[in-house]
Amino acid sequence: MKDEKQTVTAAPAKTVTKFSKAQLLSAKRFEDRKDALSAVLNETGTYTVEEAQKLLDDFMKGQVK
């Protein structure tokens, strides 16, 4: 029998870009919700766009006391 080698190529790693609070606040995507976004993001943290959007959505869905 012939020895067959299987080569497995790993999928390229997806790079995740994280942004600072200031960068997200200056993005056009969030220009209509800057005040709310500013309230939910930590000054020293970094966030993906998806993370920032989820935090903003959760904040907007919160109940008023």
| 65 residues of the chain, pLDDT tens digit each | 566 666 667 667 778 899 999 999 999 999 999 999 999 999 999 999 999 999 999 999 987 66
Does pTM top 0.75 for this prediction?
Answer: no
pLDDT at position 51, please?
Answer: 96
pLDDT at position 28, please?
Answer: 95
Q: If we measure between CA atoms, which residue out of 40, 35, 39 comes closest to residue 55?
A: 40
Spatial separation of the C-alpha atoms in residues 46 and 38, rounded to whole Å: 13
- Cα-Cα-Cα-Cα dihedral sign, residues 51, 64, 30, 39: negative
Domain residue spans of the chain: 19-61
Per DSSP, the three-state class of 23 is helix
